[in-house]
Amino acid sequence: MRHGRKINHLGRTTAHRHAMLSNMSSSLILHKRLTTTVAKAKALRKYIEPLLTKSKDDTTHSRRMVFAALQDKESIKELFGNISSKIATRPGGYTRILKLSDTRQGDNADMCIIELVDFNETLIESKQAASDKAAAGTTRRSRRGGKKAAGDDAATSATVVTGEAVAPNAVVEQSAPADTATETVKDGESREEAKADEAGA
Domain spans of the chain, in order of start: 14-135
What tens digit of pLDDT does each residue of 20-59 get?
A: 999 999 999 999 999 999 999 999 999 999 999 999 999 9
Q: Which CATH architecture has domain 14-135?
A: Alpha-Beta Complex (3.90)
Mean pLDDT of the chain: 82
Cα separation of 1 and 108, whole Å?
26
pTM here is: 0.63
The percentage of residues in the chain with a pLDDT greater than 70, rounded to a whole number, is 73
Interval 1-6 mean pLDDT: 89
What tens digit of pLDDT does each residue of 89-130 get?
A: 999 999 999 999 999 999 999 999 999 998 888 877 888 888
Strand partners, 98: 113
Q: Residue 87: its pLDDT value, please?
A: 93
118, 87 contact by CB (below 8 A): yes
157, 164 contact by CB (below 8 A): no
143's enclosing H/E stretch is helix 140-162
Q: Where are the beta strands (DSSP E) in the chain?
A: 33-37, 95-103, 110-116
